[in-house]
Structure 1
Amino acid sequence: MTVEPAATRLRHQLPLVVWLVVVWMLLWGTPSWANLLSGVLVALVVLTVLPLPPVVGGARVRPLPLLVFLGHFLVELVVSGAQVAWQALRPGGVSSTAILRVQLRVDSDLLLTMVAEAISLVPGSLVLDLDREQRVMTLHVLPARDLDDVRRKKAHVLVVEERLVRAFGSADDLAAIERREDRVQAP
């Protein structure tokens, strides 16, 4: 077992400390020096008492693919929000839903979590289960009009996965996506 130097550990923990302090300030609802200092103290105590394991591989941020992902994600939020609102308000209510299982292609805990979060944040879809060992995501979607719509929704999950891999994935993750695409396109 290797011990990580304190400076490296602090550099990796600093974004988490900042995030915990921001959440602390939002929970108190009033920005003040006392809340800021107590937030830093609470964050340091939490990270000392409940240390997190290091994220293996980390993330690489690629700005252009990240902007592509964010653009599509924002459009999906608006469009899906309108569709779900219409489903809720229209006469007859929600017509049909489906539970899907999608085989994901990447094997990174970080990317699997990001895909699950991105899918769950869009109205009309909710991740019910993520089998880490098999890389299978089970989700509930609405509306699901017919089998073609179900196929499109499954394909959309893979598109979201690909966008996130292109924005944050390692070279191995990108290769996994491209290998799987080659297998699907081969006759």
Structure 2
Amino acid sequence: MNRDNILRVGVLIWLAVVWVALWGRISIANVLAGLAVGAAIMVTLPLPRIPVSGQLRLLPLVKLVGVSIYYALESSLQVAWFALRPGPPPVSGVLRVRFAFRSDLVLVLCTNLLNLIPGTMVLEIDRQQCVVYVHVIDISSEKAVAKFYKTIRVVEGLLIATFERRATPLPPSPGQEVSQ
């Protein structure tokens, strides 16, 4: 069995698991219906092929998961503090970030990670230049902006180390703009 077929079987199983979870009861009928619905979805709504190169490295993956959880918790506390503290809301804005990814899949994973962190939201992706525009809740000081870019570079480095052949990211581009 080649890699594509293994992937298709995995997606089919995942769709069946989701179907059974939605029904809330495990039974032979639900599992068979889930497989049938999953197969119908895969035939009528095929996903585009995404070229995948490189290999999965487990140690950087574990670090990536840990760092992502840490950043999500830290920013959740920051957003909660902004909501509860007296005074005006923080200055928010859109920051431009250039990435060194070669893979569309890694770029998508990175944007999804950024969207999971409270206080940030990816607004636009320029795939040709590998640039994303991210709304950030706090850009009130140079220190806050520098911290955001440091977080981005840590996540970028771990994604490259985890999924791509190249072990180190390219240096960040000089023109990182801020708009409010």
TM-score (norm 2): 0.85
Which of 127, 130, 138 aligns to 1:135? It is: 130
Tell me how far apart the structure 2 counterparts of residues 147 and 109 of structure 1 sit (CA, whole Å): 31
Matched, 1:111 2:106: yes
Alignment of structure 1 residues 89-168 onto 2, 5 Å: 89-92=84-87, 94-168=89-163
Per residue, is there more helix in 1 or in 2? 1
Which of 7, 19, 24 aligns to 1:24? It is: 19
Q: Is the 8 A contact 1:100 1:154 kept in 2?
A: no
TM-score (norm 1): 0.82
Deviation for aligned residue 1:73: 1.1
Deviation for aligned residue 1:19: 2.1
Q: Partner of 2:72 in structure 1? A: 77
Change in CA separation of 1:93 and 1:36 when aligned onto 2, cut-off 3 Å: farther
Change in CA separation of 1:23 and 1:92 when aligned onto 2, cut-off 3 Å: farther
Tell me how far apart the structure 1 counterparts of residues 45 and 127 of structure 2 sit (CA, whole Å): 23
Q: Partner of 1:39 in structure 2? A: 34
Matched, 1:174 2:167: yes
Q: Alpha-carbon deviations, 1:131-186, whole Å to 9, x = none? A: 111111111112222123213212321221111111122x2x436x2xx24999xx
Deviation for aligned residue 1:10: 2.3
Q: Alpha-carbon deviations, 1:17-56, whole Å to 9, x = none? A: 1222222233333333322221111111111122223321
Q: Alpha-carbon deviations, 1:83-132, whole Å to 9, x = none? A: 11111122235322121010111121100000001111011111111111
CA RMSD of aligned residues (A): 2.2
Q: Is the 8 A contact 2:99 2:172 kept in 1?
A: no
Change in CA separation of 1:14 and 1:150 when aligned onto 2, cut-off 3 Å: same
Tell me how far apart the structure 2 counterparts of residues 145 and 28 of structure 1 sit (CA, whole Å): 47
1:99 alignment partner, SS class = strand
Tell me how far apart the structure 2 counterparts of residues 96 and 27 of structure 1 sit (CA, whole Å): 41
1:102 alignment partner, SS class = strand
Q: Partner of 2:83 in structure 1? A: 88
Change in CA separation of 1:182 and 1:27 when aligned onto 2, cut-off 3 Å: closer
- Identify unmatched segments of 5+ residues in structure 2: 175-180
Change in CA separation of 1:183 and 1:124 when aligned onto 2, cut-off 3 Å: closer
Q: Percent identity?
A: 33
Give the number of equivalent residue pairs. 173
Change in CA separation of 1:55 and 1:182 when aligned onto 2, cut-off 3 Å: closer
Which of 49, 61, 65 aligns to 2:56? It is: 61
1:174 alignment partner, SS class = coil
Tell me how far apart the structure 1 counterparts of residues 27 and 86 of structure 2 sit (CA, whole Å): 49
Q: Is the 8 A contact 1:127 1:137 kept in 2?
A: yes
